[in-house]
Structure 1
Amino acid sequence: MILLLAGGPACNNNGNKQQPTKRSIDDISANEDVARYLKNFKGLGALTDSSSPTPALESMAKFKVTGDLAMDLVLSEPRVVQPVEMSFDSRGRLWVVQYSQYPFPQGLKVVSVDNYLRFQYDAVPLAPPEGVKGADKITIFEDTDGDGEYDKSTDAITGLNIATSVITGRGKVWVLNPPYLLAYPDPDRDGIPNGNPEAVLSGFGMEDLHAVANSLRWGPDGWLYGGQGSTTTANISSSVTKNVSFLGQVIWRYNVDTHEFEVFAEGGGNTFNVEFDSKGRVFSGNNGYDRGPNFKQGAYYPRSLGKHGAYTNPFTFGNLPNMELVGEKKRFTHSLIRYEGGKLPSRFEGKMIAVNPLLHYVQLTRFEPDGSTLKNIDEERIVETNDRWFRPVNIKAGPDGGVYIADWYDSRLSNTDPRDTWNKTTGRIYRLRGKEGVKGIAPFDLSQYDAKKLLELLKSENKWFRQHARRELADRKDQSVLPDLISMLQSKNGQDALEALWAIHVCGGFNDDIAGTAIHHQDPYVREWGVRLSGDKKQVTPKIGQQLIQLAATEKNAEVRSQLACTAKRLPAKDAFPIIENLLKFHPEDAKDPDIPMLIWWALESKAETDRRGVVSMFQDQSIWRSKIVQQVLLSRIMKRYIIAGGEDNFSVAAELIKMAPTTQLKKGMVSAVHEGLGGQDLVSLSLQLLNVIRPFESDLFGGPLALGIRSGDSKSIKQALTIIGDDHASIDSRLTYTKLLSEVNQPEAVFTLMNVVESARTSPALRDVALQALGRYDSARIGTQVIKAYPGFRGDAGNRMAAINLLVSRRGWTEELLKTIDEKKTISREDVSDQAIHRMRLLNDPEITQIVDRLWPNSKPLSPSALNEEMVKYAKILKSGKGDADKGRMIYLAQCGMCHRLYDAGGNIGPDLTGYERSNLNYLLQNIVDPNAYIREGYGVYQITTTDGRTLEGKMISRQGEISTFVPPLGGAPFTLSNAEIKEIKEQQRSVMPERILDRLSEQEVRDLFAYLTKEK
């Protein structure tokens, strides 16, 4: 009798006979509020529909496969269901994680939920075997006779409760089971654990189970790598590393020997894939429109700061781009490999093969050098189908040189529906191979190979065997192989030498001599990894330190130089500064590199406060100032870094650096950065030393000769500025400049003058606009009264009209007076109030105000779920009742949608680009248009900000630097900055900028025309 504990070992099983029970909303909800919200939540995206799955063999006929490839059905239901990830072990067996417990963990209840369907649970689940059993399991499939058919299956681990990834190595089976990384003992390496697991890492977030930790891969350096998606948090601890906190998407790694955990790189897409190429580069797919990043160590990549949260470093001041893509910008290729197996036709070698689960195809893309990184050129879709259930979610290269694809196989793909409508009875795995290629590979077991044979495999044409031979060597730590590996490191064959270097390292043989050999090797990738491995322990000996410094001066390869910058960030200041200096002085071409300038910035930033004198010392070398990277990237950022961080020591260094700058132009740029670092705050906090240094530039850079005085609160300067603002004969530029300044600082004595400007018939529209914006800072009842009184006099100017309304709806008292004027006095027309302003009045959350708004603008009242359903049904019938004209639809699109959305070559960028979406799905389009608030794509969320001085503002967050956040109004306009001290409350709205009822403006034929254009392929 075998007792199956939660996440415990299992016995042989040839099918999925028992299906997991789906959890209802009532079952998962801890309270009525959660249940009500989830029941009313309108699902969006590729949802479950009424179609039925096509039988596996029959579905194969629907695939169109490029001419020189063949596609085999390897596994299908009932043997495999909901396969989320695959991996291969040292015997070539295929391990499959079956994610049947998704989307809700067993035994937990949801206590709160946000508008992105991120959940907070009532408890942290216990690690197996103590935790509640779930429906996930890990199955081993084996081809026992090498004919390409997986004729044997074994359930290795069952009862898992949210498991996303598995990999073997070091005598263990490693399983990602958020919030844990589990290590199951498997000393006999049969795949069946010999005991209970150890939770070697804890703290992975579970807020969004389609974005949890995933994708275990052994790195060339012997660390265990993984990814985490965009909408979860983490606070990771191991036995030696404690409380490493981060938000959102990262690549992370864990040293299984030393038990250290660290974040390798931050940002990217909703990371659910990790891939290493033959040079050790790290890739991951992307849920956006490109192929994702080429991750560099310690770097930061794009992310939505609002939805996904800030970087771990508040002073990133930018990010590296994803790899440039030349090709169709289609969402989304979230899982990919770089094929280096040597068995497909030669045209596939070295190219990316990526799966697109949303649009049901497999993409072939080539890599091309792009400075220190790579760019992607799409070539063709090598697999396509009209079967909408085809959902390829994972791709791996196998030991046979084939490419394996895991198919979730479901009509549903979207996670934006809380109902568990997933089909838990289907799943497929396919293999791509050369059309003339042989299926399968003779059985083997690398664990039985002697050292000599493993060393031979390091030279295999198939990357899979090279990687797994290295894994075996890492398991054994057999140092008797080091002489042969050291000899191999001397090889003129760069790949052989690189494999030898990695193997030496994982065997424990890496030392200064090996590092020196690698650093001076003729192959650039060996040099790159010599640099990286030298810096992994965050310290180097003086001998290696000097070699890195010299290499920074002489290195001709951009990728190596980029790694030198990454390593400098990790090293102590005494070793880092000389590397940074040489990179700046000897490689002017790097100013145009996509990555290197920011990598150097992050290296410098890491020492900004730990060694301020080192920063100053570096800039004492006059040749440093001639560097374009210094001029264009470093100077402004180091100044902002010190100003935002604040404090006498930081201000002192900032002042010293400005004084050291060799030209007036450079000084001006640095002083401008001081202004930017202040984020619109006054200068009171700055040191006298720094104020004296920047004073000569106030007229040119701070807005006239009175600017510093205004920002410092000097009463004489403020009085002079107000005189100029109120003087109709003064320079309009000066009046505008000082009025803008008074919108950034709080000087109540300005109200009288600003109101005079607003009321005067002689005031230009531009100046009145700025004055109205400036008045928003001051909480005075008479402002609302006087603006309303003056309103008829300037209503004729659209900009002034909008500025006045926006001002009046920013405070509760002013809003009440505005509504009374519209409702009773009729001196302001309700037609003057925009949809956005109406919404802002609702944000005040005042029942009396909301009641009046509902009465004055009845069509602005949010539609109920039942009304939205009625709208969906109505427009679905309209679309089915006739055909549309796409050419006419284009004109309607430009008029109704084009201001915000781009489609192909036309439209704006306020909302998401529609080109890459699944526009052939009418139901999906209709849901998004009829109910734009049901799901707001990351990066387009709008924040409601309540300030400490009583204003209610709206904006999209575009940057977060230290204590300063910058926002831009939802429909465009001048950015505004707020310090944390000015923000009383900030929350992301559950409302889209796009209004409801947008189709109500169109005739039935116009609706059909619009959809004809939206669904048309270019």
Structure 2
Amino acid sequence: IDHRGRLWVAEAHTYPTRAAEGQGKDRILIFEDTNGDGSLDKRIVFKEGLNLISSIEVGMGGVWVAAAPNLMYIPIDKKTDKPAGEPQIVLDGWGYQDTHEMLNNLKWGPDGWLYGTHGVFTQSNVGKPGAPDSERTRLNAGVWRYHPTSKKFELFAEGTSNPWGIDFNDYGNPFVTVCVIPHMFHVIQGARYLRQAGNHSNPYTYDDIKESGDHVHWIGDRGPHAGNFRSNSAGGGHAHAGAMIYLGNENWPAEYRNNIFMNNIHGSRVNVDIPKRNGSGYTVGHGADFLLTNDSWSQWLNFRYDQSGSVFAIDWYDKNQCHSPNPDVHQKTMGRIFKISHESDKWVQVDLAKASDKDLVNYHLNKNEWYVRTARLILQERGPNKKVAKLLKEILANNPDVTRKLRALWTLHVTKGLVEQDLLNLLGNENEYIRSWAIQLLAEDKNLSDAALKRFAELAASDNSAMVRLYLASAMQRTDPAKRWAVLEALVQHAEDANDHNMPLMLWYALEPCAAVDPAKALTIAQKAKAPKMMEYTMKRVGAINTPESKKILEGYSQQPAKPASGHEHHGM
């Protein structure tokens, strides 16, 4: 949904097989309700002849198009609503061996990155066009992101199955919905999650973080597929598409805010899950289904709320609920778009691109997150501005609502309105979400200063927030292993994290590369750890080095008496 509240839709006629070069049949359309009657009465064809589209997103002056093997950018001529030039390939190497789980679900994150997801049975080797293998990133299942101005690409988190939905809550935390395995994951940068199949890219992973949900949507103990078409009471089945964390207007019931909406494909319904804070992250519970379509052909793929707070849902209407590589079995002429409104939602005409910088800042206080995200994108495109930074810093300093402070913080970051000292100062903020995001943003460029590392080590020892400690563990994965020691030594000694859902393995993922740098020092830290298996994993990792020196170090530890177990063993470690 663009700055004018218009709906951009991709028609994927080429699916399920990529066409020969120049013979793609996909196109991008723009729909608009011009008179407020609830119908999309105006339709513009933006671009035709595209090939195997799997997702689009609008922003930063153009349309971002996922069409394996490419991620493309098409600049928009704002006067004609047509391309201002040919598609630019920003990244290539995306696989399409299985065309129902390629790169998908493009969505802007609050930090100015373009996020996307990727399925488990498609293999990609992503980089800039012409990049050698050494400058590419291999991935299958997981979450990735690309920065539109720095041009950086990175794997954000690894694992799951086919993640077909991603969205961010009021505090900037991403969640993904997936298929076949348990369906809900709170996503942490650097995490490695339960996989449907295959191995993690790092052979020293040893274990992965399990789902965040406390339930599944299928019945029985014979696996997810056995529950198809008989799991009404549990939520409908294992397959999910789309993710929307509702942050629209105040007309919708308050209990929907920050809840996660997803389509249940086999269940012909929209499920709602309820995240609640637990330790360093979230446990996600089962809510009442939002609606039933009573139509097995109806395949809602994704949801977006607009400037009015209403929700648009796109429906791939097809008798085949599951992917088939045979083009002849899919129905491609009956796609539908639904609009879901509260009776008090009102038609709103907008054009935020015409708003002043001051008005765009004021939109950060709007109840409806659509205004916030759209205003942030426009300000990011406009670039650094001292007056904008001053106004945003006033919100960050003085607004009593932490979600408004976070909104200002994120936009300050994307508009380059912060210097390192600003973020260092925020490490002392009273709110754990502010401290956590200060850590995240300081570590974004993977080049922490000595001052930041010193403050991180202090927080690692003394901060009482498990979420802050989680962000520190995550940040260490983006830090030179030789500089992680002080932070990790303090983090591993928190007994309250020994049975946390995320912390034990996130700490292991951060410590593991250090074992190759200094095996003895890594073992010393592991020996102090409260997580039950940290020492076992570290010894196993040092053993894998398999040099005379590493063997000698291990001999010294194997002769020591076993360390008593600390509490109950965490299910992931």
TM-score using structure 1 length:
0.52
Q: Percent identity?
A: 29
In structure 2, the residue matched to 1:331 is: 238
Alignment partner of 2:533 out of 626, 633, 643: 633
3-state SS of the aligned residue for 1:208? coil
3-state SS of the aligned residue for 1:603? helix
Q: 1:668 to 1:397 in 2, by over 3 A?
A: closer
| Separation of aligned partners in 2, 1:147 and 1:557 | 49
3-state SS of the aligned residue for 1:216? strand
In structure 1, the residue matched to 2:101 is: 211
Q: In structure 2, list runs of 5 or more residues that go unmatched.
A: 219-236, 567-573
| Separation of aligned partners in 2, 1:133 and 1:169 | 27
In structure 1, the residue matched to 2:384 is: 478
In structure 1, the residue matched to 2:167 is: 275
Q: CA deviation at 1:377?
A: 1.9
Give the structure with the larger helix fraction. 1
Alignment partner of 2:51 out of 151, 155, 161: 161
In structure 1, the residue matched to 2:371 is: 465
The answer to whether the 8 A contact 1:255-1:261 is kept is: yes
The answer to whether the 8 A contact 1:285-1:334 is kept is: yes
Q: CA deviation at 1:423?
A: 0.9
The answer to whether the 8 A contact 2:364-2:372 is kept is: yes
Alignment partner of 2:200 out of 286, 293, 311: 311
| Separation of aligned partners in 1, 2:312 and 2:374 | 17
| 1:98 is aligned to 2:11 | yes
Alignment partner of 2:187 out of 295, 301, 307: 295
Residue identity matched to 2:68: P
CA deviation map 1:751-781 (0-9, x unaligned): xxxxxxxxxxxxxxxxxxxxxxxxxxxxxxx
Q: In structure 1, list runs of 5 or more residues that go unmatched.
A: 1-87, 108-130, 670-1018
Alignment partner of 1:250 out of 119, 137, 142: 142
| 1:647 is aligned to 2:536 | no
CA deviation map 1:153-183 (0-9, x unaligned): 1111111110111112222221111111111
Q: 1:302 to 1:403 in 2, by over 3 A?
A: same
Question: Where does 1:73-472 land on structure 2 (aligned, <5 Å)?
Answer: 88-107=1-20, 131-186=21-76, 188=78, 191-238=81-128, 243=133, 244-288=136-180, 290-305=182-197, 309-326=198-215, 328-329=217-218, 330-342=237-249, 343-416=251-324, 418=326, 420-434=328-342, 436-441=343-348, 443-472=349-378
CA deviation map 1:826-863 (0-9, x unaligned): xxxxxxxxxxxxxxxxxxxxxxxxxxxxxxxxxxxxxx
| Separation of aligned partners in 2, 1:169 and 1:240 | 25
Residue identity matched to 2:534: L
The answer to whether the 8 A contact 2:274-2:287 is kept is: yes
Residue identity matched to 1:319: D
The answer to whether the 8 A contact 1:147-1:439 is kept is: no
| Separation of aligned partners in 2, 1:291 and 1:495 | 27
RMSD: 2.2
The answer to whether the 8 A contact 1:171-1:189 is kept is: no
Residue-pair matches, total: 543
In structure 2, the residue matched to 1:805 is: none
Q: CA deviation at 1:408?
A: 0.6
Q: CA deviation at 1:416?
A: 4.3
In structure 2, the residue matched to 1:66 is: none
| 1:591 is aligned to 2:498 | yes
Tell which structure's C-alpha radius of gyration is larger.
1
| Separation of aligned partners in 2, 1:494 and 1:403 | 26
| Separation of aligned partners in 2, 1:613 and 1:572 | 18
Q: CA deviation at 1:332?
A: 2.2
Residue identity matched to 1:392: W
Residue identity matched to 1:484: L
Q: CA deviation at 1:242?
A: 5.3
3-state SS of the aligned residue for 2:194? coil
| Separation of aligned partners in 2, 1:573 and 1:148 | 56
| Separation of aligned partners in 1, 2:171 and 2:46 | 33
Q: 1:582 to 1:214 in 2, by over 3 A?
A: same
Question: Where does 1:576-587 land on structure 2 (aligned, <5 Å)?
Answer: 576-585=484-493, 587=494
Q: 1:513 to 1:247 in 2, by over 3 A?
A: closer
| Separation of aligned partners in 1, 2:96 and 2:275 | 35
The answer to whether the 8 A contact 1:373-1:595 is kept is: yes
Q: CA deviation at 1:510?
A: 2.7
Alignment partner of 2:562 out of 665, 676, 683: 665
The answer to whether the 8 A contact 1:568-1:577 is kept is: no
Q: 1:438 to 1:302 in 2, by over 3 A?
A: same
TM-score using structure 2 length:
0.90
| Separation of aligned partners in 1, 2:132 and 2:518 | 25
CA deviation map 1:796-833 (0-9, x unaligned): xxxxxxxxxxxxxxxxxxxxxxxxxxxxxxxxxxxxxx
Q: CA deviation at 1:240?
A: 10
Q: CA deviation at 1:496?
A: 1.6
3-state SS of the aligned residue for 2:145? strand
Q: CA deviation at 1:191?
A: 3.9
| Separation of aligned partners in 2, 1:535 and 1:190 | 41
Q: 1:346 to 1:219 in 2, by over 3 A?
A: same
Q: CA deviation at 1:626?
A: 4.9
Q: 1:241 to 1:535 in 2, by over 3 A?
A: farther
Q: 1:550 to 1:457 in 2, by over 3 A?
A: same
The answer to whether the 8 A contact 2:320-2:330 is kept is: yes
3-state SS of the aligned residue for 1:665? coil
CA deviation map 1:716-758 (0-9, x unaligned): xxxxxxxxxxxxxxxxxxxxxxxxxxxxxxxxxxxxxxxxxxx
| Separation of aligned partners in 2, 1:270 and 1:326 | 18
Q: CA deviation at 1:606?
A: 2.4
Give the structure with the larger strand fraction. 2
| Separation of aligned partners in 1, 2:79 and 2:508 | 46
Q: 1:380 to 1:219 in 2, by over 3 A?
A: same
